Structure 1
Amino acid sequence: MTSMRALTVGTDGSPESMNAADWAAREAVRRALPLRLLYAGSGERSVPAPPGPGLLDRAARQLSYAHPALEVLAVRKGARPVAALLEAAGESETLVLGSRGSTGYSGFLVGSVALAVSARAERPVVLVRAGGPPQDEQAPDAPDFPPVVVGLDVAEPADEVLSYAFEAAALRGTELHAVHAWSVPPPRGGASGVTTPAGDAARRETLSADALTAALQVWRAKYPDVPVVPRLVYGRPGHHLLKASASAGLTVLGRGMDQNRLGRTAHSVVHHATGPVAVVPYT
């Protein structure tokens, strides 16, 4: 496997994928990484025709002009999209893909391809919504950047997810909002009409708050300049993460490496969030 010191964006030359390339270029500048523009196609009828001659090179030049310090490389691969993108993800620090927007575009790098890659990739995958709000249009050193939001399961606070989220907030000089949703389990046996005593609910909330504080403690020490806002909420995590993502510059979610699929929460956020979503695998 080659060095992961690069950021890769999948593109087919469409406006949707170029929107992702714009985001990826800004992220590559923040992280001081080279940017690879990747087109993959096997020539099959289900795969859109490749970009015209020189299109990738022109796109690379445009990004280079917009970001003079950025090294941009255009790459074509003859493999099928999912296989090529999964290989590229393994060779990159982050893979960026376009996500279906309000245009109704249904080709390469949207829908099933983006979902399949984000559910199986070995490295973080960022899905950038085409036509989404410009939360990330500021220059890398611009003030008042929107917060980074991370969904946190205090029962399994994955280091890979928290590391990615804290680093993203540090690079942007912004707040990190750590969202954990707690709830009261249903009564044993599923008895209807049985309510949970107020004391039990209050105790569970306190335990959840303590666990959230503990999960963030080590990372706060590693990133002392990142303002952290713990957000303990009641209910389903997908609902609250979607609300938080509406005003976020980036929403960060985790995916267990032992699963080749997105969990219910990640699946909901990926489909409905209007801003960029990072899916970070963890062991």
Structure 2
Amino acid sequence: MLRTITVGLDGSQESRAAAEWAAREAKLRDLPLKIVHVWEPVPEPMAEAPLLGAETQQHWTERIPREAAEGIGLRHPGVEVIREQLSGHPGHALAEVAKSAELLVLGSRGFGGIGGFMVGSVGLSVVAHTDRPVVLVRALEQAADEHEPDPAGVPSTATPFRPVVLGLDVEHPDETLIEFAFDAARRRATSLRVVHGWNPPPYYAYGTPANPALHEALALSDAEALAEAVAPWRKKFPDVEVVEQSRYGSPAIHVVEASRHASLVVVGRRIRHSSFGAHVGHVTHAILHHSTAPVAVVPHS
């Protein structure tokens, strides 16, 4: 089955920014862009109101994706655009269409004065329940933000892409996650910054006096583990410049810090099938809410 770059569109500023990002990604990957508009049927008493009647609802559900597709066609010539309209709960519907997508793109509200995302319940639900990569894009995301500043200090699409950042757990370095990040960097002709945050084991952290030599030994061990995890991928992607960063402290804090100068942040989500249901890990959850760059969440076993 032909895969697509699929974007969820509801007419909001957030989803329109996501659609623009998805169109750029479709061009990078030479894939069609599918715009999916999901509407929830309103309760029958409201549907009978003059302003919310069936004809009005049909008008807007058709107009939103049609106008978006026309605009993207003009701004991104050469990108094939497909439209699809669905009804039902947005979270369930988008998780279903993601199954046939190369990746799914969704919009998220910014915090306003504070950098980062406000990830809504629909976005978190889709991220937690799909086995395909999902990218979250800020409402004000601009193409120029993904690029290095020009000589005047202004981001410009004429300059190279900023690095791709990969948040990696060296204890469980999944191949699907690493390959996604290397491939994203290669397509953008940019470098890959692999970030790993580490903390001492509990039996070192508690009840043990400060020991600089021990701290240095642990830091060296983690740096070596990171280098070992990345080494095979350096050979598979020899054109990608790799910068490894192993630092003491919270992985989420270090990845969020790196996101300030990134074109894309890539993090993983371990697929768990349990009685408690699917969920997003606490590190990925924190990065989703506070990254200042688009975030790709890649599910893995």
TM-score normalised to structure 2 length: 0.84
| Alpha-carbon spacing, 1:58–1:87, altered in 2? closer, same or farther (3 Å) | same
* 1:58 aligned onto 2:74: no
- Could you tell me which of 95, 104, 126 is aligned with 1:117? 126
User: 2:14 aligned to 13, 16, 27, which one?
Assistant: 16
CA deviation profile, 1:228-271 (whole Å, cap 9, x unmatched):
00011110101111100111100000000116111111111101
CA contact (8 A) 1:102 1:130 kept: no
Q: Please give the secondary structure, in 1, of the residue aligned with 2:202.
A: coil
Matched, 1:96 2:105: yes
Residue 184 of structure 2 is matched in structure 1 by 168
- The one-character-per-residue Cα deviations of 1:13-39 (angstroms, maximum 9, x if unpaired) are 122210110000000000000000001
Structure 2: gaps of 5 or more residues: 47-51, 149-156
How does 1:239-250 map onto structure 2 within 5 Å? 239-250=253-264
Residues 175 and 188 from structure 1, CA distance in 2 versus in 1: closer, same or farther, beyond 3 angstroms?
closer
CA distance in 2, matches of 1:210, 1:261: 31
> Among 239, 245, 248, which residue is 1:231 paired with?
245
Give the aligned residue type for 2:169: D
| TM-score, normalised relative to structure 1 | 0.89
Separation (CA, whole Å) in 2 of partners of 1:18 and 1:137:
20
Task: Name the CA distance, whole Å, in 1 between partners of 2:195 and 2:253.
Answer: 11
Is the CA contact (8 Å cut-off) linking 2:17 and 2:141 kept in structure 1? no
Identity %: 41
Match of 2:230 among 210, 216, 221: 216
5+ residue gaps, structure 1, are none
- CA distance in 2: counterparts of 1:4 and 1:158, whole angstroms: 25
Q: CA deviation at 1:97?
A: 0.1
Mapping for residues 1-283 of structure 1, pairs under 5 Å: 3=1, 5-44=3-42, 51-102=60-111, 111-132=120-141, 134-136=144-146, 142-187=158-203, 190-191=206-207, 194-258=208-272, 260-283=278-301
| Distance (Å, rounded) in 1 between the aligned partners of 2:176 and 2:29 | 17
Opposite residue 4 of structure 2, the aligned amino acid is A
Distance 2:174 2:196 in 1: 13
- Cα drift, residue 6 of structure 1: 0.7
Amino acid across the alignment from 1:247: H
- Give the count of matched residue pairs: 272
Deviation at 1:55, TM superposition (A): 2.6
Considering only CA atoms, is the larger Rg found in Structure 1 or Structure 2? Answer: 2
Cα distance, 1:137 vs structure 2: 6.7
Contact 1:118 / 1:279 at 8 angstroms: preserved in 2? yes
Amino acid at match of 2:78: A
Check conservation: 2:147, 2:160, Cα contact below 8 A: no
Name the aligned partner's letter for residue 23 of structure 1.
W
Q: Map Cα deviations across residues 186-224 of structure 1 (whole Å, 9 max, x no partner).
A: 337943xx3243332222111111111111111111110
Tell me, in whole angstroms, the C-alpha distance in 2 between the residues paired with 1:65 and 1:132: 19
**Structure 1 residue ranges, 4+ long, deviating more than 4 angstroms after superposition:** none
Q: How large is the Cα RMSD of the aligned pairs?
A: 2.4
User: Cα deviations across residues 69-126 of structure 1 (Å, max 9, x unaligned)?
Assistant: 100011101121111110111110100000112469xxxx950000111122110000
**Which structure shows the bigger proportion of residues in helix conformation?**
2
CA contact (8 A) 1:165 1:176 kept: yes
Structure 1, residues 159-181: CA drift from partner, whole Å, max 9, x if none?
Answer: 11101100000000001000011
